[in-house]
Amino acid sequence: MIYTKHQQEIAESLNPDSNINDWKDWKWQLRHSIRTIEDFESIMDIRFERSERDMMQKTLEKFPMAITPYYASLIDRNNLKDDPVFRQSFCSVEELNIDTWDMADPLSEDHDSPVHSITHRYPDRVLFHVSSMCAMYCRHCTRKRKVGDRDTIPSKELLEGGLQYIREHTEVRDVLISGGDPLMLSDSKLKWLLDEITSIPHVEVVRIGTRMPVVLPYRITDRLADILSKYDNLWINTHFNHPREITESAVAALRKLTKSGIPLGNQTVLLSGVNDCPVIMKSLMHKLVKHRVRPYYIYQCDLSEGLSHFRTPVSKGIEIIELLRGHTSGFAVPTYVIDAPGGGGKIPVSPNYIVSWSTNKVILRNYEGIICTYKEPDSYTPVYCDRNCTDCNLQFNTEGSEYLPLVGIEKLMADYDERIALIPEDNERIKRRSND
């Protein structure tokens, strides 16, 4: 990678003696995070009107700002108003518009928190909040109430409490590590946490939700990728919202993770003025799958405080899915969901492809508008489940087993094998026997 002119200007304004090694040092990026309007103006060489700056300052008093120099370098200074990177990262006076239906905790995560740092909403999985800090504070964040608050950073003791909860609840097979951003933890603390979680016998899947590949790709170091590669049941979900975020450096970070064998997914938030366009979304999904990131969710923007200017009608999300399904690869089409207010969980929303339904036929339409008939089977015997599994004819042995030929000493150890000796090939004495 080389500096762009814009990146070089930002780097020199932050530190005249900086170089490419400084720029690619993720800790340097965090130390030089842009947190004030004055610093943003100075670094970006722009000026806001005084009245506008005063209103922005009021926003910062309620919702703090942090932008990495890297992410700031992606902003088009000549069109701030419409720039998708600027809209996601820089404070806006519109955030002070708190609608009557806005909530500090719209998903009721705190209500579904049996112990500190754990949200247990679904039967078999938990959300583990391990940090309240992020490399960048996204203006559309659903956890604006927490993010950036150093007073809510979980201590190791509090994290131990979360780990103990997971150990005691054997129904938990999936742990989603979230925050803030979990990758704000040091390598050693992250390794400790993953070691503890993966050592719990009933935990089958561990997931990390992070925006680091988007806003600070240099955090994905070779050492971090090597640490993460050691966990066979680890998945990572990224958070790209616009195709312009998939830069050379972002691709390099993604490549380190995929080459380490870690499956990647992506969760996109539908945002007015950023990506509420089928063309933009299709481009984003194509870029993601090109770099082996599976589109997972498109989220309807939550009812968090100060996000009304980001929210679109649900019909916009359905329109986007309509113009993806059939027009691109199936695995490039994410699921559009509304995370229900009050803790109802993720509810999938999609266009309706069933036109009608009778006893014997289902009438369907495809993405082109072609209407077709699917004939229902005449001889299907319904399986009425009364939860009496002991009398069910279905096979409940779900453990896959395969036959592998016995090898070496294992053959002699097997009671059902009649061999009493293992004889090397080309043994001369055995050859003489066969010739007698």
Active-site positions read 121-122, 125, 134, 138, 141, 143, 302, 339, 346
Residues 144 and 133 sit within 8 Å (Cβ to Cβ): no
Host H or E run for residue 374: strand 371-375
How far apart CA 236 and CA 207 sit, in angstroms, is 6
Instruction: Please say whether the dihedral angle defined by the alpha carbons of residues 99, 101, 103 and 106, taken in this order, is positive or negative.
Output: negative
How far apart CA 59 and CA 49 sit, in angstroms, is 15
Alpha-helix residue ranges (DSSP H) falling in 241-382: 248-259, 278-290, 314-322
Where does 168-251 show beta strands of DSSP type E? 174-178, 205-209, 234-238
CA distances from 295 to 29, 197, 256, 288 (A): 28, 26, 18, 7
R_g (Cα) of the chain, nearest Å: 27
Give the count of alpha carbons within 13 A of 70, CB side only: 31
Q: How would you classify residue 108: left for phi > 0, otherwise alpha for psi between -120 and 50, otherwise beta?
A: left
- Strands of the sheet with 264-270, listed across from one edge: 118-122, 125-129, 174-178, 205-209, 234-238, 264-270, 293-300, 335-340, 345-348
Tell me the β-bridge partners of 236. Answer: 208, 264
Could you tell me the two tokens for 182? 């979990």
